[in-house]
């Protein structure tokens, strides 16, 4: 069975990822993980995460994917042993040093990070022979090349299907380190490729306007059937620093695509899924290398081509059936008269105009402006707990 693997930057996002259909979630601990600015998990959080996931038949993978220097390795044995004791299902590694320590001191399953740029079945075999269970392929492979790899190896293969794409080879970028002293390969990427640049000659600008060096984000809805048919084991969404709304929308959409294809052998309406997933995006998307070598149209040279996302305004805490009242925890400003959409974990959606609302003491409100305020809105349709609320 194909696995849908989702990101989570904190416990709330992890629980939402699982509720909205992820089979497994990858998280970062507070040590040895890239994305140092993410709300990374303490060991206590990891224990709670694994319990929540395992009770629902899901898995937790922890990233230990930095490229460490000697000074970064202090405490590694103790940390990996603690992960094993807390029941995590696997660790994701990029360094042979961390892999070797994990093999000698724990029974943790090891997944190889895309940072190692595995591009061939021979490279897959190299790592499998050194105790790695799953290989996360480099993002620079097209669909035919992925098929070749899966046909020539029995290893578990994981492929990225959605999220940010590094402009450097498999994420091994040195721009941030050189420009800011923040090493992207040790968890400190400053996203230098997304800054605005201008070319100058003899002090004079030779470009008409500033530009960036980043690519469009990856979106692979159309390629899910082919990846499943190719024998890929896990489909991975990127985005541990993304919002709750992003996690819910993207996970739910891919869950529905996978389930439809597995059940019927086809995808009836790709455009519908692409429209739904666009509600969580604030950057343009492209298929990356899946369709072959990316060209100019797959790059995001002009920041003006970024687009605003749908506004996530609340999370449903409960629905009072007797009073036909939905109880919302507010996350962004909205007001009476706004058109909103409820997006349920089951995938069902419901649109309405807010004609009245109250606070949790039943006092009338015209505007919801306080983060995490409890808001009550009359709705004559049963809305599921943990539904997302969007302003249209």
- The answer, yes or no, to whether residue 307 has pLDDT greater than 70, is no
| Greatest distance between any 2 Cα atoms in the chain | 74
What whole-number distance in Å separates Cα of residue 262 and Cα of residue 241? 30
Task: Give the chain's domains with CATH numbers.
Answer: 3-188+215-305 (3.20.20.380), 311-391 (2.40.30.10)
pLDDT score, position 187: 57
pLDDT, average across residues 329-342: 96
Of the candidate ranges 132-141, 308-317, 323-332, the one whose mean pLDDT is the lowest: 308-317
Residue 74 buriedness (CB in 10 A; 0-12 / 13-18 / 19+):
exposed
- The answer, yes or no, to whether residue 278 has pLDDT greater than 80, is yes
pLDDT score, position 83: 96
- The answer, yes or no, to whether residue 183 has pLDDT greater than 80, is no
pLDDT score, position 123: 97
pLDDT score, position 204: 85
pLDDT score, position 185: 59
- The answer, yes or no, to whether residue 387 has pLDDT greater than 80, is yes
pLDDT score, position 283: 80
**Residues 149-178: pLDDT tens digits?**
999 998 999 999 998 877 777 666 777 777
- The answer, yes or no, to whether residue 308 has pLDDT greater than 90, is no
Number of other residues whose CB lies within 10 A of the CB of residue 76: 19
Of the candidate ranges 10-14, 75-79, 112-116, 188-192, the one whose mean pLDDT is the lowest: 188-192
Q: How confident is the model at residue 205 (pLDDT cuts 50, 70, 90)?
A: confident
User: Is pTM, for the whole model, over 0.85?
Assistant: yes
3-class SS of residue 27: strand
CA dihedral over 239, 241, 245, 248, signed as positive or negative: positive
**Residues 13-70: pLDDT tens digits?**
999 999 999 999 999 987 776 655 555 799 999 999 999 999 999 999 999 988 888 8
DSSP state, 193?
G
What whole-number distance in Å separates Cα of residue 2 and Cα of residue 384? 27
- The answer, yes or no, to whether residue 108 has pLDDT greater than 90, is yes
Q: Which of 41, 236, 46, 51 is nearest to 134 (CA)?
A: 236
247 and 281 Cβ atoms separated by less than 8 Å: no
**Residues 350-386: pLDDT tens digits?**
999 999 999 999 999 999 999 899 999 999 999 999 9
pLDDT score, position 188: 62
What whole-number distance in Å separates Cα of residue 193 and Cα of residue 248? 27
- The answer, yes or no, to whether residue 390 has pLDDT greater than 70, is yes
- The answer, yes or no, to whether residue 148 has pLDDT greater than 60, is yes
267 and 226 Cβ atoms separated by less than 8 Å: no
What whole-number distance in Å separates Cα of residue 363 and Cα of residue 59? 43
Phi, psi for 156 (deg, rounded to 5): -65, 130
What whole-number distance in Å separates Cα of residue 354 and Cα of residue 378? 8
**Residues 209-243: pLDDT tens digits?**
887 778 888 999 999 999 999 999 999 999 888 88
What whole-number distance in Å separates Cα of residue 176 and Cα of residue 204? 25
- The answer, yes or no, to whether residue 191 has pLDDT greater than 70, is yes
- Mean pLDDT rounded to a whole number for the chain: 90
Q: How confident is the model at residue 303 (pLDDT cuts 50, 70, 90)?
A: low
């Amino acid at each position: 069975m194909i696995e849908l693997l989702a990101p989570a930057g904190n416990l709330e996002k992890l629980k939402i990822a699982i509720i909205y259909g992820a089979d497994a979630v990858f998280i970062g601990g507070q040590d040895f993980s890239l994305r140092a600015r993410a709300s990374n998990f303490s060991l206590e959080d990891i224990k709670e995460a694994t319990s929540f996931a395992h009770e629902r038949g899901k898995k937790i993978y922890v990233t230990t994917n930095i490229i460490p220097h000697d000074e970064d390795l202090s405490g590694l044995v103790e940390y990996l042993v603690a992960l094993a004791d807390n029941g995590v299902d696997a660790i994701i590694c990029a360094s042979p040093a961390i892999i070797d320590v994990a093999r000698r001191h724990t029974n943790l399953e090891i997944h190889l990070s895309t940072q190692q740029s595995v591009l061939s079945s021979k490279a897959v075999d190299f790592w499998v022979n050194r105790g790695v269970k799953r290989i996360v392929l480099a993002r620079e492979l097209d669909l035919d090349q992925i098929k070749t790899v899966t046909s020539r190896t029995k290893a578990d293969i994981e492929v990225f299907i959605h999220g940010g794409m590094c402009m450097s080879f498999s994420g091994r970028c040195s721009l941030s380190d050189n420009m800011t002293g923040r090493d992207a390969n040790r968890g400190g990427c400053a996203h230098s490729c997304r800054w605005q640049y201008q070319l100058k000659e003899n002090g004079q600008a030779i470009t008409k306007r500033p530009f960036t060096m980043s690519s469009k984000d990856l979106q692979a809805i159309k390629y899910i059937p082919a990846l499943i048919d190719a024998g890929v084991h896990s489909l991975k969404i990127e985005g541990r620093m993304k919002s709750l709304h992003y996690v819910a929308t993207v996970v739910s959409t891919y869950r529905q695509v996978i389930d439809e294809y597995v059940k019927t052998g086809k995808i009836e309406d790709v455009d519908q899924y692409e429209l739904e997933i666009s509600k969580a995006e604030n950057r343009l998307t492209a298929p990356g290398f899946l369709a072959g070598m990316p060209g100019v149209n797959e790059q995001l040279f002009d920041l003006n081509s970024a687009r605003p996302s749908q506004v996530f305004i609340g999370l449903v805490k409960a629905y009072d059936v007797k009073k036909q009242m939905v109880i919302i925890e507010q996350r962004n400003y909205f007001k009476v008269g706004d058109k909103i959409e409820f997006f349920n974990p089951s995938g069902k959606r419901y649109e309405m105009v807010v004609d009245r609302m109250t606070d949790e003491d039943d006092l009338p409100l015209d505007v919801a402006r306080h983060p995490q305020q409890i808001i009550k809105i009359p709705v004559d349709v049963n809305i599921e707990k943990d539904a997302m609320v969007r302003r249209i």
